[in-house]
Structure formats: structure tokens, C-alpha cells
Structure 1
Amino acid sequence: MLSDEQEKILSYNGEVLLFQLSKAKCAAEKTTRLHVKRMAYDNGSNLFLQKSSGLFSMHGGNLNIEMVCCNCTADFRTGINLPCILMREKKNSVYKYFLLLLHSSNKFEQCLNFKLEYELKNDTRLLNGPTVLWRHAKKLFYISTKTCTVLSASVQLSSIEWAGEIENEGNVVLGIRPACLSEEEDGQTLSRSDGAVWHSEFVVYAVENRKILTGICFLPHAYSSVISCVHVCRTGISKSQFRTSVVAITRKRQLIWFQDGLPKGVCQLQDGEPCSVQVAATSRNDLLFVVSFASRDVCVVRKDNFQVASRLQKVKSVLVDDFIGTGTEQILLLFKDVSSTDSLSTFRITDFGEVSYASDISCKKDFPHVEELQENGFLTIRALEARLQAGCTSVRELQQHLQLKKKVLFESCSALIDLVQGTEHILPTAEEKGLVSLWDDAENLLHPLDKKTTLTSGGPEHVIEKLWQRVVDDSLVVGVKITESVNLSLNDVCLSLVMDQHFTSVSPIIQCQSKIAKLNKTFSAMSISSCQMEPQPKRIKLDFCSMNDLKKDYHGRPYKTSADVAKTFIAVTPLSPLLAFRDIRCMILLHAKRKKYQNGNLQESKTLTLLCGKISLNLEDISSGKYSVNLLRNNSHYTDTMEDIFAILAVALKFSFHIVSSDYTLTPVKMWLLSQMECMPIKECPENMFCHKLGSLHGTVFNWNLKTPFEGILTLFCSVVFQCLHSLIGILPPTCKVKALRSESKDILTDQLALALEKEMVTFRSSFSSAVSEVENNLIPSSEADKTMSRVTVSSLSDRKEAVRQFREELKNEQKQSALSMNRTVSGALYRQMALKIAGAQLCSDTIAWRLNIS
């Protein structure tokens, strides 16, 4: 027989876990068993059904074992969240604690144990690691599976209000301590007058890093003496500052929402003593604050209007999770039922909107099921919302159309009045009407150079913002930065390096490779788009997206930065051939096309040649490192970081790898970059990391894009990719899969596929046209001969019956010719030629489509 049982309830991945601790009634047996049941909601029966169960037996104890608390924490070995429960055993005056992890196979693992001479009270938290954290005698203590020993923090707290994890800081604790008037926090000293009033202040302590963080970004210090419950909804770091969203309850029963440490909303709660607050994200993109009281009452507050949505009584427990599998969270309310021993016998699943399931609803045959009613109501509301949005959109479009008609009528009347009065009508500019040109038609910004004129740098001073050069390995990199006021068509731009005229024995034009630098909108990684090497005419045009497309890529950043990067053009040439000359002096020419409009019509594009400036280079400059990349030596105090990044990425080879791990998270990849590879984030683009490790890997640029905790893409710009992969594979889990990605971007492959399909369509059309032409050419001579013969015969006849007979013969001949034309075939040579052309075009388009599919 079993004596009284202890029970705790926990939600995990949409399931409800019931932990029950049972003790043998017979004292001689001395066995305590911990049972766990996995319960899942079933729509058909409207009940929670048991999926599986587990058992953990503890032998040899004195039966004084009890459950302290339970929570879902991340295991540092795999990075996967697992349910864990803290157990306590009392022997004489010593308390023994041990932590159990529950795996998916319902097997318990004892991962931590420690002994204390005192009992843990309410301020006990289970954090990631797993880590057990508690407060005793105003001191903070913790132990984790990494430390395996009890450690004491250097901060004293009078209470723990919240504990959780913050990115780049690990486990943190938000607590209250007595006001420290002499210490500074966030650059500000707490005044004595404020300290005399508050007597306390908030403090945030990072457990792993063992340092005190600023607490004023979470809650103002003035609330430290009146706060009873705190829940941190969101944390983040932007521009070296904390960005937080916190909800707290005061002792005057006020629910307050704080944004970055400032109060944004207040809601007065009902009478009672609040003991906890939870947050649920519902299907209508709304947040619900669920406040539990000590009297077993529950109050729900909506964030959008910060008003009380519902009040409930006699609630045993409140859980927040996705219990019905819709992808959003619902609230599970468990009510006290004296007549039943089952904890899940009386419940309600709701989001106080579209979802509502209750255990006391009985389904009858004459009426539809509850889930059908819920689904019908959900679909009806969605349809009404869609109709309302469509109606509002139609009204806005009609209003815009009417405004446009009014503008056209007004301009027409003005033009008519000017015509009658004999005055010239001046059309308004595009800026006055809020119009944007579809083409970059800036006038009088670039001046074409005549062949008779000499190349001087005095004209384009207002066009060229910066000209720079770098020497990277065996390559000379020259960059030209255009001012924002210049509008160029990027598919008609290239750079040329022309040597001075005194080099008469060699070609004055240096063979180079033109490139354009741009930012990737997904994770702000620097990328280089290039073209083929220049042919003999020394002119190449960049076939890239237009300026409008580039502006779309930079919508997440300030416009100035995107414009500067989008208008940076780069030329790369081998340095070894140039070292034959002692002094090298080159002129940098930029070639572009400008769209010109006249009377509203697009005229022919004019080719413009612009002198950007001159560069000089000699062996002394290369030896002294005058034009070397300074980023290779210092990343902290240097102003031309972007130019160095462009130079490195223009020369280095780009490799991308798709990394997938099914059993373990990919957290070690970032640690590998920071520790083993000695990488540091670049200030201008912190998503990219620069390798400062000595050796062949020095200067490598890494970009780690973690899509999910189990999937990511690693992009590196280097020349020793195998050494990087060897070091990376050493820290990855054995079941991890690494796949090399092609360097072509999807945008380029999409454009190539469109051109290939267009070529295939033209091939089809030309082939069928040639076949039809051959058939018609064979039919025309015989048809004309028959018609000529019939006309001659008819002209010589005088009898009417003979004429009718002749016309009948002509009709029969035409029918025969028509039948022959319908069954006409082409020659074998023409058919083979058509099949070969069509097969070649289809093979090209299929190949590009396959590359696009696997990219």
C-alpha cells in the first residue's frame, strides 16, 4: 500500500508531465518511487490521455524524500531542453539534494547531487546547464553540472525576482539588494536622497561570467521596494545596450509593463495576493498576462489594451504551452475536483479568443462536435477578416484613383488655359509630384571625355568621393567610391587601369577584373560580385541587378551606408607583372552609360568615361607595407576598415557549407570561432568575424548564420579551406553532416534560367518556322500550276454545263491539295537539325534548373 503522495505538474512540448512521489507504507521496505506520466490532449475524446510512463526507484533511504521544484532546462552536453526535477532527502540535520533529468525514453538520469546544512526555501531556481541556484542568508549560491561544487556569488541579495538566460551573458539573476550609495551603475551614482526613500535597488548578476550588469534597463530602482512578482518577456542587446520587455506586479496589485526600463502600461488587478505571472502568445498575435493569486484565483490581462480579459476561481494549476498543436500557445487551467483523484479530470484549454476546450462539455449526436464548432468559427472569423481587409484596400485604391484623376484634370485645365492665353506651359518636376524615375537618368553629373581632350582630374571632383588601393598577397586592389548624388546604371559600369604614356614599349591598358561590392540583406555579410576577365578591347560591363534592386537589399540598414557600399567599384589585377617596373603610375577610368530623356522619350544611351584619379606604386611602398591591409594587424583603432574588408573579399575565395546536426545543437561552432580560431567581430559588420590566429589562417573572414539550433550556414573567405574544415570537424558531433554549397547565388541562377528558357522558346519558334516554310514552298508551285490551267480552260469554254463541271474539278483539286498540306512531312535532314537545336536548348535550361534546385 502507498501512503500520501506528492505531485507536481509540468508542461513540455505540448504534453503535460505528472510527477508523483510515492512511499511504501511498510517501513522495512524503505523504497521511494518517482512516477512520471506523459499526458497529451485528444480532440476526439476531449480528454488528456496517457502516452507513456516512467519510474525511478530510490532504495535504502529513510523515506524522508520529497520534491522541491521542477522545470525545463537545457543540457549543456546536447543543448536540448529536458524536464528536470530537484529532490531532497533529510538525514538528521543534513539535507541531501539530487537533480534528475528526464529523457525522451522516460529514463531518469541523476546528473547532480550536493549536501547542505539548511533547507532550501522559495528562492530556488533551476536554470540551463542544468544549474541549481538559491539564496540563503542574503547570499547567492549555485551549482551546475560543469562546476559540480557549490559556489558563492560576490553579490548579496535580499530576494530573487527573476532568473533566466540572456544572450552572450548566460544565466543571469534579477534581484533586490540594499541601496549602495557609493557604487556606480551604468555610469550613474545613486543619490543619497533616493536611497533614503527606496532603501533598495535592482541588480542583475551574470552567474557564469561572475559580474554585475546594469539593472536600470529592466526596472527602475524606484520600484524595488514595491515589486512582488516579475517576469522578463524579452531580452536583447542593441548598440551595446540592453533591450528588455518586463511585466511586474506591485504590492498594490498593479500590473505594470516596462519597455527598456520605462513604464508603458498599468492595469489594476482584483483584490488578493498575487504570487506569480506568466505570459502566453496566442493565435491572434496577442500576448496574455496570466496572474495567479494565493487564493487560487486567476486573472488574465491582454497586452493590446492592458485590460482584464477574464477572472477565474478555484484554479489548481496554470500551464502555458501548445496543447492542441496549432503552433501558438494556449492556457491550460486545472480546477480542483473533490470527487476525483485525477489531476486532469477538470480542465479548460483556452486563449480567450478563438480556442476554448473544456472537460465538462458533452458532445451529443444531434449537434456537431466541439472541435467542428471551433473550426467553423475560426474559418468564419478569418473569412470576415479577409473580406474586411480587402474592402479597406479597395477603398484606399479608389481614393488614390480619385486623387490621381483630380491631379490629371487640374494639370489639363492649366495646360488648356496656357494654350488659350498663348503662354508656355511648364510641366511640374517629378520631385514635386512625388514620382520616382524607373531609370537612373541623372543629368550633368558625368561628363564624357572627348578624344581630343586630355585626361584631367579637375572635372569630376564632385563625383568621386574616395579612391583607394590595397596590396593583398599577389594582387593589387583598386577601389572607387561614388558620391550618393550620382545615379549610375550598375549593369553598364566598369573600371580600367591605364598606365602613363611614357611606357611606350608595353600595352598602356592593364588587364584587370572588375567587381562590385554589396551587402547581403539576410545577415549583413560582405559579398563580392565579379565578372569575367577583360578581353582584348579592355571593356567589360557588369551584368548585375539595377540600383532599385540594390536599394531593396539594404532596407534593414541606414540608407547612407547602403548607398556608399552599393556604389563602390573594385578592380583587381595581378601584381607580379607590374613589379618589372620600378615606379608604376596608373590612371583609373570609370566607364558607364547614362540614360537621357527628351520630351518624355528615352533616347540612346551615351557612353561616358570619367577620370577617377591617379595611383602610384613602387617596390619601396610594397616593402614598407604602405598599402597593406591594416586590418590584419589591428581591428580596434583603424578608420579604413571597410576598404580593407573589400580588398580581402575581392581576392579571397568564397566557400559556403551547410551544417546540419540531428542530435546536438550547433552551439560549439561559435565557441570554435571565438576560441580556437581566435576570431573577433568586425565593428562595421559584426556578423562577420576576422581571424587573428597566427599562421596560414590569419586574415580569414568567417560568417556563421545559425538558422535553427540544429542547422546553420558557415561562409568563409580564405585560401586554406581544408585546414579550416579539419579544425571544424574536430569539434562537431559525430552525427553532424557538412555539405558544400555552390558559390552561385539564387538571383544569378534565376536570371540565367530565365535567359535559357527564353533561348529555348526562340529555338522552338525558329525550328517550327523553318519547317512550315519548307512545306509551304513545296505546296505553292503545284497549287499555282493547277489554278493557271483551270483559268485557261474556263476562258475557252462557252457552254454553261462544261463550266460547272470545270469548277467541280477545280474544287476537287483544291481539296486534294488541302489534304496533302495537312499530312505533309519535313525532310530528315531538317528534322535532325531541329531535334539537335531543341535538345541542346533543353539541356542547358535543365542544367541551370538543377543547379538552382540544389543551391
Structure 2
Amino acid sequence: MERLLSGDLYPSPHRLSLCGKIILFDCKRASATHDSERSELIFCSLSFEREVNAFVKAADGAAVISRKRSARVDVVKCKCAINVQKRVTTPCVLVTKKSKKGLSFQYSLLTLSSSNRLESCIEFKLPYQMRDNVSILRGPTVAWSHAGNVFHASLQTGEVRQIPLQLSHCVIGELPLHTEQVFVLGLQSLPDQCSNTHSTGQALGYFVQSGQVFDGNMILPHPYVCITRCILVLSAEKVDDVLKSAVVAATSNQQLVLFENGIVKDVCQLPFDQPENIQVVNTGRNGCLLVISFHQGHVCAMWKETFQIASHWSSVSSVHVDDFLGCGTDQMLLLFKDRDLTEPLEKFLLTDLCGISYSRGQDSGAPTTPPPPPENDLLTLRALESRLQSGLTVLQELQREMRVKSRVLQQSVQALTNAVSGRETILSQHEQEGLVALWDCDDDDEDEKLKDEKTQDMPAVSSQPQVDKLWHRIAEERLVVGVMLTTDSSVPVASVSLSILTETGQSSTPAVIQAQSQVFWLPAPCSSSSSSSSSLPSAHTFSEPAAKRSKQHNVGRPTDLNTCRLAVTAVARLTPLLISGCVKCRVMLHYVQRRDAFAGVSNPTPVVLHCGQVALDIHSNFQTQLLKTPELKTDDAREDLLSLMALLDRWVFHIDSPDHSLGDVDSWIHKLAGCRRIEASPQYLLLNSSGPSALMLLHWHQISPFQGELSVHASQLQTLQFLDSLLAYLPTSCSIRSVRGTRGQGAAQMLPLALEKELVSLRECVSLLLCEEEEEEEEEKRKSLGHEETPEPGSVKGLQRCREVFQGDVERSKTRLSPLVDVWRYRRLTQNMSKLQLDGDLAALLDLDAQRTLLS
């Protein structure tokens, strides 16, 4: 690469940026022969080098446009556009060739390929010269205005076409949609009717590709169409055939206006008039800038989030937005005018207004590039950043403490009000608020131990779990059946599941419906109100302490079923059930009962318990109280939550940030649109979009300021979308590791692990077997050579010995190609491989069964 010479291009070439490089286009004449001249389109690609703080030449080239001396060739416009056929963004330059008499104009759109070759893309002839509103858009497509009409030519059409609408004050733009991008927007009225900005003319839009007409008021209101000078569409989508868009437009009234769905959302006064172009600079975490170029060489930058002017410049010949430094974010390059300089890129400013700034040959008040800080300053900055992170962590902990204190005070006031009014008070468990006793009650613990010892000595009243309640929910094509259980016996149970039996009345033999069961641990009931005073799901249950203090949440769960209440759910498909309008189903509880909780499971006792019947109605729907009002603490709300947890797949992620603290993730989740806390179980948050398939349950557990655990109950696509949004909030150095996935994922991981173990073991066993045989052969060879006398090298006996050694080596080589192994060793190898293959077959069966369960 070399510096750009002053004679390569004219002083004011046309420029564009692509992939971090500046490309310059210009036309010049060159002598072909002594009697003729040819007109060429030349280009030069330059890249920025930080070491020399200048742009250096990366590539150049030329293409012959005309070989006639009388023809005049000029560059009309150059811009980057998407080539639909190649699906890449390519530089495009529009050139015109005027005839000698000036009666016709030949236009050519050329593209610059990746191999730095100029290729002709579109050619057409016009009886007039393009002057107004010329745009190069996706396709590539060339669109322009002339005599009150809008014309376009694209690579797909191959000819010039006119849009069939008579529009005044046309605005040509591009929408980020999949099928319809290039549009023309204008007023369907007489030109003199738009002299007043409050005209009532109808704003119409026209898609160039499909020829479809749409309501232009969804992009710009009709009073703004006739005063809009340039436009930029930030986002656009079609929802139920209705266009939704976010647009910024610069008007002739020296204003920049933000529109959302055709409604004015924000306005900012511009420092200059006659705007020509709007560009977006994405600076990463620092936000986005809107860069507006003006006719007289003025440029201003505005923050997109606040709509406030950030900076402005004058005497600018062109401004470009790209990642010129290759750092992953955008910067803007301002090229300044200078009559004394012959090199076009000798006076510039490269900045993002967020710490990056490179300048050359100008002192217009822009910041210069600061020198790199020394090592001591870097260490000081890191120490200060660490202290700032620690202070932020302490502040977040205090904010969390204040939220807990506020909730406890609200519950206390509510309890006092209920006591005065004579109403029953329902308080949440202290574990849900992260509270424990301020002092330990040793006497109470000893009393509890004595009670437990007496209970173990007493005979059990009942060896069966007690069914508290049976409920069911219908969600789309699935049925959820749940049972609340309490175990008042000292005999533990295990392997708990539910089965559903149909009872349609058409057959005396009930049919078993395939279902998938889950077990949820619940807090033990408090006094008499067992179901109304419990929340979902929780860990160990303690008595309410007199005084409380905050603690970090400790994840745990009981190991014996007789110490906690249980909620057992089963999920089944509705297709085998809904044979008629109403179907009755029996619900059976299955569990294994053992005499000793620490005994082996060699002789388990399977027990089946009839829980009751549920009646299904084909017209029922998943319109639960929990989805409408998550603030409820009723039994139905808790059952709804258990049903959602049974329906949705569960994902657990461990988030680790070694360099920076995670921040207040809990508050960030609270700020999501549609996020509400479930009061029946406050540790869970509900994201409700529309219908049960769009639901999401979230549970965030902060292990330390730098680590946390996130539980997500949702589909795989929703989980990935949520993690993508979360990664934008978390520090860049953090890592997210999946701890536990959806149902059946463990079985799916067993199969590849078993196959990998089988392959590794086969390779090691065969290699060890062959190595042992070779070692024995070498040992025998050394023994045979050691017992015989070594003959003289030059004698006949020595030659005969060398021939025998060579022949033995040849035989051993043949043996290695088809080795003979010991029968006992081979039998041991086959036995080991048979065991590994059995493990692989078992893993494959489990994987197949898990897939069938998920599909059912």
C-alpha cells in the first residue's frame, strides 16, 4: 500500500465508504492514439492506518466509458447498495455520457466487484439530464424525478419505468422489510395546494418492486411531506398487514422530526438549513448518533436517545460512516474543504464523540488524538474502576434491602388493618423474603428434637400420603392434572408419578393415557390453613421468628417426602381424551414405599392410590386467574403457577462475570415490558405476551456480585431471545453456562458420551493389545541375539547371520499386517467392548424414549 498521489484523482472526486475503506471515483481523459481520446472512470480505494495517521492506497483501477473525443462523461452519484442477485452490499456509481449535440444522455450504473473490477450493471438512455432527487437504492435501483413524475430503472426490469401515480413533493426512501423495500412517497394533490404546510392532501406511498399502493401517513403525515428534504427509516415491520415504522426526517423548517407510525414523537431544532442526508453512527454501548449533512458544507451530530445536538462542523466536503478502525463500532469521517491542498484526504477528522478521535491537517476545534496513557495510569484506572464497581455493588445491596423492608412494612400494615377489621391475614413465608431469625432458638430446637424422637417411637397412623386437592387445567392441546399431597407418616416414599385413565362410558376397560409427571416441593402447612398459607415452590419451612434480618438466598430442597408437602403434576395430550364433548378421567398416584429411609431399594413396595376424577370440557380454555392478575394469592393462582411450570420447559443458566459485577439484573428484568411478579410465589416473575405458548417464568438468584443463577421456564426460541437481550445488558466479559436444560436433554447427552467412550476404549484396547504383542516379539529377539555369539562382520557366517536377521524382520512385518493375538487377551477385549456397547444401546434407548415423550 502507498500514499495517494496528488495527480491520481481530481481535487474533488465523488466518495463513498464500504467495509472500513474510502473509495474515490472520478472521470478523466486519456490519449488512446494520436487522433483520438478516451474517457475513463477511475477509482481508488484507501484504508486508514493508525501508525501514520493517514489514508493509504489499497487498490485502484479504471474502466473505459467512451472512446469518442466529442463525448463528455461525468459522475452523477455514487452510493453503496445491496445487489439482490449476489446478496452483498456493493459500491455503485452512476455516470452519464452526453452526446455532441446534447440531445440525448446515456446513463450507466457500474458496480465495483470484490476483485476490484468495474462492471456494468444498468444502461439506459434519456432525452433529458437527471437533475432532481436522484437516488441509488437496493436492487440496485436508480430512481429520479422529472417533470412531476418519478422514474426508476433496476437490474431486474432492465428498462426505464414510470410509477403510475401523479405525486407532488416526492420523497424516495428504503424500508428494512423482507419483500418491499424501495418506496416513493408524495401528495396526491396539485402543486399549489402544498404551499401551506397544513394542506389536507392525501399522502400516498408506492412500492417500486411490487407496484402496491399504501397509506403514506403511516410513514409521514401529509403536512410534513411537502417540507421534508431528506428521510431515514430507522425500523419498519408489518403487523397484520399494517405498516409500523420509526422514521426521522429533516425538514425545510430547520427541524429534525422523529415519527413513530406516522405520529410525531420528538422534534429538535437544527443549527443549519437545507439538509441533504441523514446517517446513523452506532457507537456500541455509548448509543447511536444521527449525522445530518447540509448543503453549504455544514454537518451536525445528534444523540438519537436524547435528541440533543452533540457537535457540529463547517467547511465539510463530505461525511462518511463506517468502521474505519476495525474495532466493531462505527465512526464518522469528516473530510474538510481546502483549496490549497491537492490531495483529497489530507484534511479530515475521524471520531465517534465517545473517546475515539483522529485528525489531520485541521484545527477547527475538534479534539485531537490523545497520547496513550502510561502503564501506571492504566493500573490506577483499573483500581478506580474496581472501587467504583464495589461501591455500585454495595448500593445495589442497599436498594435490595430497602425493597425487602418496604414489602415487610406493607405486609405489617396490612396485617394490622386486617386484625382491626376482623379479617384473616395471609402472610408470606419468611424464606420468600430472604429473612431468618436474628437469634437462634436453641430451646425450641431441643423441643423439636424431643418431639421427633417421640414421633419415631409412636406407631404410624397412616402409611399413605394424604390427597389434599385434585385440580386440572387445559392449555391449547395439552391437559395438566395436579395433586396436592401431605405425608403425615414417618414412612418415606419415592418414585412419585401420576397416571390418567379414561372413563368414556363406551367401554368397561379404562385406557391409560401416556403422560409426563413432575414433582414440586412445597413448604409444610402452617397450623390449620394448609393450602392457603403455602407458596410455590419453596425449600425447608421454619417457624416465624420474632425478629428478622436479611440473608442471601440458599438453594436447597428436602430429602424426605414426609417433611414437606408435594405437588405432583402430569401432562398429557388432549387428542386421545376428547372423544366426546365431555370425558371423565381417573387420576392414579404411583409411589414406592420403604420401611427405612436409609435402606436399599432392592425390595421396594409399589403402591397405587386413587386420587379422584376430573371432567374435561372441550370448550374450556387456558384463561386462568394468574394470567389476568398475578397479584392474587389464592389456591387457584398457585395451581395455575404449578400448571405453567409443568407445561413449560425449564432451563437453568449459571452466569459468571470475572472482571465486572453483574449489576442489578433483578431490576432489569422488572423493567421488561409485560413483566409482573407472581405474589403466590414472589421469587418468580411472569412475562405474558399472548396465550400460554408465549408465557415465560423467570427466577433470578444472585449468588455473589459476580455470579448468579437464572431459571427460565419457556420454549427454546423464547429462551434464546431473552438471553440475547440479557447479553446486551450484561458486561461483555461475562459467560453464560447451561446447567440444566429441558426435559429429555439429559438422555440426549448420554448417547454421544457413551459412543465417545466406546470409540476411545476400542482404540486404547486394540492399541494396547498390539503393543503387548510387539513387546513380546522384541523381547524374544533380544534373548535370541543375546544367547548366540556375534560372528565377524566380514566372514561367511556373519553374512548368513545378517540374512537371517533381515528375513526375520520381513516375517515380523507381515505378522504386524495380520497379527495373531492371544485368545485370552482377545476374549477380555471382546468382553469389555460388549459392556460398552450395552451401555451405548441403553443410552440410545433412553434418548429415543425421551424424544417420543417430547413429541407426545
Coarse TM-score class (shorter-chain normalised): 0.5 to 0.7
Q: Cα gap change, 1:542/1:319 in structure 2, threshold over 3 Å: closer, same or farther?
A: same
Match of 1:751 in 2: 746
- Report deviation, 1:301: 1.6
Match of 2:41 in 1: 34
Distance 2:474 2:577 in 1: 25
CA deviations on 1:812-847 (whole Å, 9 max, x unpaired) are xxxxxxxxxxxxxxxxxxxx99x9799969977998
Q: Cα gap change, 1:432/1:606 in structure 2, threshold over 3 Å: closer, same or farther?
A: farther
1:81 corresponds, among 83, 89, 100, to 89
CA contact (8 A) 1:16 1:38 kept: yes
Match of 2:786 in 1: none
Distance 1:612 1:414 in 2: 38
Q: Cα gap change, 1:294/1:542 in structure 2, threshold over 3 Å: closer, same or farther?
A: same
Distance 2:270 2:833 in 1: 78
- Report deviation, 1:9: 0.4
- Per the alignment, in what secondary structure is the counterpart of residue 206 of structure 2? strand
- Per the alignment, in what secondary structure is the counterpart of residue 355 of structure 2? coil
Distance 1:297 1:374 in 2: 37
- Report deviation, 1:239: 4.2
1:134 corresponds, among 144, 155, 158, to 144
Alignment of 1:779-790 (within 5 A): none
Q: Cα gap change, 1:586/1:303 in structure 2, threshold over 3 Å: closer, same or farther?
A: closer
Number of residues of Structure 1 aligned to a counterpart in Structure 2: 544
CA contact (8 A) 1:112 1:148 kept: yes
- Per the alignment, in what secondary structure is the counterpart of residue 156 of structure 1? coil
Task: State the one-letter code of the partner of 1:496.
Answer: L
Q: Cα gap change, 1:278/1:336 in structure 2, threshold over 3 Å: closer, same or farther?
A: same
- Report deviation, 1:500: 4.1
Q: Cα gap change, 1:391/1:162 in structure 2, threshold over 3 Å: closer, same or farther?
A: farther
Match of 2:573 in 1: 570
> Is residue 429 from structure 1 mapped to residue 432 from structure 2 by the alignment?
no
Match of 2:156 in 1: 146
- Out of 89-98 and 395-404, give the one that drifted further: 395-404
CA contact (8 A) 1:33 1:57 kept: yes
Distance 1:354 1:312 in 2: 18
CA contact (8 A) 2:197 2:224 kept: no
Match of 1:352 in 2: 353
> Is residue 90 from structure 1 mapped to residue 98 from structure 2 by the alignment?
yes
Match of 1:21 in 2: 27
Q: Cα gap change, 1:343/1:755 in structure 2, threshold over 3 Å: closer, same or farther?
A: same
CA deviations on 1:79-104 (whole Å, 9 max, x unpaired) are 11111111111113011111111110
- Report deviation, 1:340: 2.5
Alignment of 1:145-544 (within 5 A): 145-179=155-189, 197-198=198-199, 200-360=201-361, 370=370, 372-373=372-373, 388=388, 391-401=391-401, 404=404, 428-430=426-428, 463=472, 479-481=477-479, 492=497, 494-498=499-503, 500=505, 503=508, 508-510=509-511, 512-514=513-515, 541=517
Distance 2:589 2:113 in 1: 64
CA deviations on 1:396-436 (whole Å, 9 max, x unpaired) are 322433664788799999999xxxxxxx9987433999869
CA contact (8 A) 1:158 1:177 kept: yes
Distance 1:374 1:244 in 2: 48
Gaps of 5+ in 1: 182-191, 363-367, 417-423, 438-458, 469-478, 515-539, 550-565, 595-603, 616-682, 688-702, 709-744, 760-831
Q: Cα gap change, 1:215/1:313 in structure 2, threshold over 3 Å: closer, same or farther?
A: same
- Per the alignment, in what secondary structure is the counterpart of residue 216 of structure 2? coil
Distance 2:166 2:138 in 1: 22
CA deviations on 1:719-776 (whole Å, 9 max, x unpaired) are xxxxxxxxxxxxxxxxxxxxxxxxxx964465348999999xxxxxxxxxxxxxxxxx
CA deviations on 1:486-539 (whole Å, 9 max, x unpaired) are 999999555433564854xxxx2436544xxxxxxxxxxxxxxxxxxxxxxxxx
TM-score (norm 1): 0.53
Distance 1:574 1:35 in 2: 75
Q: Cα gap change, 1:147/1:750 in structure 2, threshold over 3 Å: closer, same or farther?
A: same
Distance 2:582 2:260 in 1: 58
Distance 2:612 2:94 in 1: 76
Q: Cα gap change, 1:167/1:425 in structure 2, threshold over 3 Å: closer, same or farther?
A: closer
Q: Cα gap change, 1:332/1:591 in structure 2, threshold over 3 Å: closer, same or farther?
A: farther
Match of 1:10 in 2: 16
- Per the alignment, in what secondary structure is the counterpart of residue 208 of structure 1? coil
Q: Cα gap change, 1:88/1:465 in structure 2, threshold over 3 Å: closer, same or farther?
A: same
- Report deviation, 1:203: 2.8
- Report deviation, 1:318: 0.2
Match of 1:442 in 2: none
CA deviations on 1:87-133 (whole Å, 9 max, x unpaired) are 11111301111111111001122121111111111311112211111
- Out of 38-47 and 376-385, give the one that drifted further: 376-385
Identity of aligned residues (%): 26
- Report deviation, 1:545: 14
CA contact (8 A) 1:288 1:302 kept: yes
CA contact (8 A) 2:187 2:222 kept: no
Match of 1:612 in 2: 615
Q: Cα gap change, 1:260/1:436 in structure 2, threshold over 3 Å: closer, same or farther?
A: farther
CA contact (8 A) 1:219 1:261 kept: yes
Q: Cα gap change, 1:159/1:33 in structure 2, threshold over 3 Å: closer, same or farther?
A: same
Match of 1:72 in 2: 80
Match of 1:106 in 2: 116
CA contact (8 A) 1:288 1:301 kept: yes
- Out of 320-329 and 220-229, give the one that drifted further: 220-229
RMSD: 5.8
- Report deviation, 1:8: 0.9
CA deviations on 1:576-607 (whole Å, 9 max, x unpaired) are xx9xxxx999754455799xxxxxxxxx9987
CA deviations on 1:531-552 (whole Å, 9 max, x unpaired) are xxxxxxxxx6369999999xxx
CA contact (8 A) 1:177 1:203 kept: yes
- Per the alignment, in what secondary structure is the counterpart of residue 24 of structure 1? strand
CA contact (8 A) 1:174 1:202 kept: no
- Report deviation, 1:300: 1.5
Distance 1:138 1:414 in 2: 71
TM-score (norm 2): 0.53
2:61 corresponds, among 47, 54, 65, to 54
CA deviations on 1:25-68 (whole Å, 9 max, x unpaired) are 68833312222222111122221122222221234234311111
- Report deviation, 1:351: 0.9
- Per the alignment, in what secondary structure is the counterpart of residue 502 of structure 2? strand
- Per the alignment, in what secondary structure is the counterpart of residue 263 of structure 1? strand
